[in-house]
Amino acid sequence: MEKMAVDSTGQASEEGAAQSMAQGMSRRQFSSMSPDVLVIGGGPAGSAVSALLADRGHDVVLLEKAHHPRFHIGESLLPMNMPLFDRLGVRKEVEKIGITKYGAEFVSPWHDHTSDFFFAEAMDKAFPYAVHVRRSEFDEMLFRHAARRGARTLEGHRATHVDMDAGKGVDDRALVKVKADDGTETEWRPRFVIDASGRDTLLSNQFGIKSRNPKHSSAALFGHFTGARRGAGRREGNITLFWFDHGWFWFIPLLDGTTSVGAVASPAYFKSRKTDPSTFLMETIALAPKLAERLKDATMVEPATATGNYAYNSRLCRGDRFAMIGDAYAFVDPMFSSGVYLAMHSAFESSAAVDHWLRGDKKMAEQAFRRFERTMVHGPKMFSWFIYRITSPAIRKIFMQPRNVWRMQEAMLSILAGDIFRNTPVGPRLIGFKFIYYCSCLSIWPQAFKTWLWRRRNHKVSLAAVEASAEVSTPG
């Protein structure tokens, strides 16, 4: 099979990607109900892994329960997403629908100034920007791209049950039951199953291996606005984080002139809501005067939406003939725009392992799966340390008064850019950053202790809310 052309950096060139795409379109058409791989979920992770495996000649079926375009929150991407788009051959398409993000701005009500960070100042200067995208457009583009690569894509098809032991000892194929929008039920017999079902966590729920992360619990309330005041020049597309007493806001400019604004706070705060979500969002925005000033001439274009962001993980991310990627394995709070990047990176890592497995190279497959497991644990862990502490006065002080001692600021920017899986030497500097953080906590220990107690109370409220929700919910 022809491989994609690779440039001097080891990344696939767009010319090679286009050539590979043309080859993929000329491949034979698959029609069997027994594909090599069945992928559950047509988001960024599922679409990426489907494109990669189909490009390698495997028969891939990609199921999406909804119909594209469909709404999804999480519009901000990271600089390290861009090399992945190069390898998929979709960078130009992504940039066409996105607004360039050169960095991030932090705004605190306890400081008179703002703090700007630019990705070009990270340890590796080769990844100076990312983009914000409307997820409805972005997800559909990746889904259609998987189809062009040769994957069989089905919309309005929900996987309802997976039996990994159905063919054990006979043909070693799994049994996946699928229900279409029109009520039609089908059974698929793939050699391998990839769960990219996102927060539906199909396999993790079915296997009983999902557990709530006790350190992370939050909820979000968000809306889209026209007429919001953005930064000037190259700052126009920067994401802005506004702190307020109960948590933080995101402010994400989009290409069409709208701005995504969301509040992330503890469930305890949202339990105080006595009005409709849109009114409550505006009341919450009023608690952050600097954000309210940027929205004083803005109009909310649709009703606000609330979502719980209870973090979770699974005890394992792969097993005999299956793998879980992206949010199907773990979810962390939506801080620092890490979700899409971690999902797509997991797609690349899993595709390499699954390709070896399908070709019968068990030794190489096992080595690749072990690497996949390490990256699945490492990614959320790196971001989680910052996410858990983002509301602490000590971390706020560091972000608002940054210092590049021993290149620690550059290392922090590298992490926030997603540069956590390569050999960029961020590890030792992260240790130094943590040391400074804990020293800062000691210097303001009354505030730090008060924040710790506040967070602990909120976790208890969050746990009670999760348990109450579980009691009233029904399976499926």
Specify the pLDDT at position 11: 43
The region of weakest confidence among 168-172, 245-249, 359-363, 468-472 is 468-472
Tell me if 101 is assigned to some domain: no
- Average pLDDT rounded to a whole number, residues 290-297: 98
Verify that 35 and 152 share a domain, yes or no.
yes
Sequence-ordered list of residues with C-beta below 8 angstroms from that of 146, at least 6 positions apart, any chain: 42, 47, 48, 50, 51, 54, 60, 62, 153
The region of weakest confidence among 9-18, 137-146, 369-378 is 9-18
Tell me if 12 is assigned to some domain: no
Verify that 196 and 155 share a domain, yes or no.
yes
**Which of 344, 359, 382 is at the close of a domain?**
382
Verify that 200 and 318 share a domain, yes or no.
yes
Verify that 299 and 327 share a domain, yes or no.
no
Identify the CATH number of the domain in which residue 265 sits.
Answer: 3.30.9.100
**Which of 333, 361, 382 is at the close of a domain?**
382
Specify the pLDDT at position 13: 43
Tell me if 69 is assigned to some domain: yes
Verify that 297 and 445 share a domain, yes or no.
no
**Which of 360, 382, 404 is at the close of a domain?**
382
| Each residue's pLDDT tens digit, 180-212 | 999 999 999 999 999 999 999 999 999 999 998
pLDDT at residue 103 tops 80: yes
Specify the pLDDT at position 441: 87
Distance CA 267, CA 120 (A): 36
pLDDT at residue 401 tops 50: yes
Q: Half-sphere exposure of 226 toward its Cβ, with a 13 Å CA cutoff?
A: 4
Indicate the number of domains in the chain.
Answer: 3
pTM for this predicted structure: 0.89
Any alpha helices (H) in 109-195, and if so which ranges? 135-149
Tell me if 430 is assigned to some domain: yes
Distance CA 299, CA 181 (A): 35
pLDDT at residue 26 tops 50: no
- Average pLDDT rounded to a whole number, residues 384-402: 90
Q: Are 312 and 287 spatial neighbours (Cβ–Cβ below 8 Å)?
A: no
Verify that 278 and 417 share a domain, yes or no.
no
pLDDT at residue 466 tops 60: no
Tell me if 26 is assigned to some domain: no
Specify the pLDDT at position 28: 53
Q: Are 142 and 17 spatial neighbours (Cβ–Cβ below 8 Å)?
A: no
Any alpha helices (H) in 178-315, and if so which ranges? 202-207, 267-270, 277-285, 289-294
| Each residue's pLDDT tens digit, 112-171 | 999 999 999 999 999 999 999 999 999 999 999 999 999 999 999 999 999 999 988 899
Verify that 267 and 225 share a domain, yes or no.
yes
| φ, ψ of residue 127 in degrees (nearest 5) | -130, 75
Two tokens at 138? Answer: 């972005």
Q: Please state, for a pLDDT cut of 70, what percent of the chain lies above it.
A: 88
Instruction: Quote the domain boundaries for residue 228.
Output: 219-308
Partners of residue 319 on adjacent β-strands: 322
Specify the pLDDT at position 217: 75
Tell me if 461 is assigned to some domain: yes
Verify that 142 and 286 share a domain, yes or no.
no
Q: Tell me the pLDDT band of 41, cut-offs 50, 70 and 90.
A: very high
| Each residue's pLDDT tens digit, 42-79 | 999 999 999 999 999 999 999 999 999 999 999 999 99
- Average pLDDT rounded to a whole number, residues 84-96: 98
Q: Tell me the pLDDT band of 472, cut-offs 50, 70 and 90.
A: very low
Verify that 61 and 159 share a domain, yes or no.
yes
Verify that 454 and 414 share a domain, yes or no.
yes
Verify that 203 and 332 share a domain, yes or no.
yes
Identify the CATH number of the domain in which residue 142 sits.
Answer: 3.50.50.60
**Mean per-residue pLDDT of the chain:** 89
Tell me if 100 is assigned to some domain: no
Q: What are the b/e assignments for 295-324, b being 16+ CB within 10 Å? A: beebebeeebbeeebbbbbbebbbeebbbb
Distance CA 440, CA 401 (A): 12
Verify that 70 and 159 share a domain, yes or no.
yes
Q: Is the peptide bond before 303 cis (omega within 30 degrees of 0)?
A: no
Two tokens at 283? Answer: 């009341």
| φ, ψ of residue 237 in degrees (nearest 5) | -90, 0
| Each residue's pLDDT tens digit, 404-459 | 999 999 999 999 999 999 999 999 999 999 999 999 888 887 776 776 676 666 65
Specify the pLDDT at position 356: 98
Distance CA 175, CA 166 (A): 6
Q: Specify the pairing of strand 60-64 against strand 152-155.
A: parallel
Q: What one-character-per-residue DSSP string does 85-106 give?
A: HHHHT-HHHHHHHEEEE-EEEE
Distance CA 66, CA 297 (A): 35
Specify the pLDDT at position 357: 98
Tell me if 39 is assigned to some domain: yes
- Tokens 């797509």 locate to 344
